[in-house]
Amino acid sequence: MMDVCFSLAAAGLYVLTVLWTLSRGHDAGHGASVPGAFGALLWPLGASLCYVVSPVLCGLVFLSCSVRLIWDRKRCELLLPETRGVLITGCDSGFGHALAKRLSLMGVKVFAGMLDVDGPGAQRLRETSENLHVLQLDVTDRHQVETVHRDICSQVGHTGLWGLVNNAGILQCPMDAELQPLSACRRCMDVNFLSAVNMCQVFLPLLRRAGGRIVNMSSMAAAVPMPMLSAYGASKAALSVFSHVTRVELSDWGVTVALIQPAGFRTNIFGTSDDVSHYRDQILEAASPEARRDYGDAYISSLPSGLSRLSQRSAEDLSPVLDDMCHALLSVHPKPLYTPGQMGWLLPFVHRHCPTAIFDVFIKTLTKYSDCEPAGLRTS
């Protein structure tokens, strides 16, 4: 009898928790959390099956589900954005551009770093909100970084800077590691990793003053060995390790570090037709005579077309990434790692648990960007 009473009490608590979650989500204007809504439908079914085995087990399932819903709801609570100042790099287009728009409309004071303050992206941002300040910022130019730092210091004063989003990044052309020009590798590391390190070092005094947050934009390529993306993946992996280390180090200072590790999303990082021609000439010029003989000019010339294939396979809707970036900046309980996108968590999971030989075949098939094969392989 006690077992049945415990089970019924736990079920009642679960129902109350679901109603509380839905009502809080409605009041906040963003609805119930996805785990909450999903659990509200499926967890009772699982608990009912457990009841057949044991009423106590059924009660424990309902109790654990209630705790999970409460925790999910707490994670959705946001800080008041009006007093927050956030610096975002790489706002000319893509994630940075969309995030700057969203945050400024929420009431956040946004400092949008742009490669070209006279470009179309900057003009669109200027029309968005009076909370948005467009700044000239090439993250690889230390002089521009210092200029932006002085400008922001004069505006935020003693309150400090709440958020730094290291979003600026480059992909370059997918190619075999042997063909990757060393200058392109250096450029990738400079933009994707070293510039983010410099930005953190320059702005951390302001972030400490506010007890603020750093959000670093990594990639699924940092966690999964993606053929043809050796330089890009290495630079993002370096940023990921740096983020995890600084998260531990800065926790004593009250500064939170979050890492965004998305799957493929369609942004301007894939370049234009002019970039394709540039990459083709760059690879052919940098390749050694032996490499050009073994791979063949036809294969090398086909590599830049992989950019368009990558773009076509990527998701157009950027909202999963933007939702996670906003959560990392404004949630009362941010997560250390976000993996937006359908394959964002699944592919790293498969990589960790699948036998290496099987995964290697799978990932080579998944990332085949060209129908042309190296000349040496066709001969053999």
pLDDT at position 359: 94
Tens-digit pLDDT profile for residues 222-274: 999 999 999 999 999 999 999 999 999 999 999 999 999 999 888 877 666 66
Least confident of 60-74, 80-94, 135-149, 170-184: 60-74
Q: What is the mean pLDDT of residues 109-138?
A: 94
Run of H or E residues at 378: helix 375-379
Same domain, 53 and 24: yes
Distance CA 100, CA 93 (A): 10
Q: Which domain holds residue 57?
A: 2-76
Q: Does residue 369 have an active-site annotation?
A: no
Same domain, 71 and 208: no
Q: At 71, which amino acid appears?
A: W
- The DSSP letter of residue 91 is -
Same domain, 163 and 291: yes
**Which residue reads 């409605």 in tokens?**
26
Q: What is the mean pLDDT of residues 291-305?
A: 90
Residue 26: inside a domain: yes
What confidence category does residue 71 fall into, taking pLDDT thresholds of 50, 70 and 90?
Answer: low
Same domain, 28 and 135: no
Residue 305: inside a domain: yes
Distance CA 199, CA 144 (A): 11
Least confident of 8-22, 253-267, 303-317: 8-22
Active-site residue (options: 51, 232, 295, 369)? 232
The dihedral through the CA atoms of 294, 298, 301, 306 has a sign that is negative
Residue 380: inside a domain: no
Tens-digit pLDDT profile for residues 76-116: 566 766 678 999 999 999 999 999 999 999 999 999 999 99
Quote the mean pLDDT of the chain.
Answer: 85
Same domain, 72 and 150: no
Same domain, 40 and 139: no
User: How many domains would you assign to the chain?
Assistant: 2
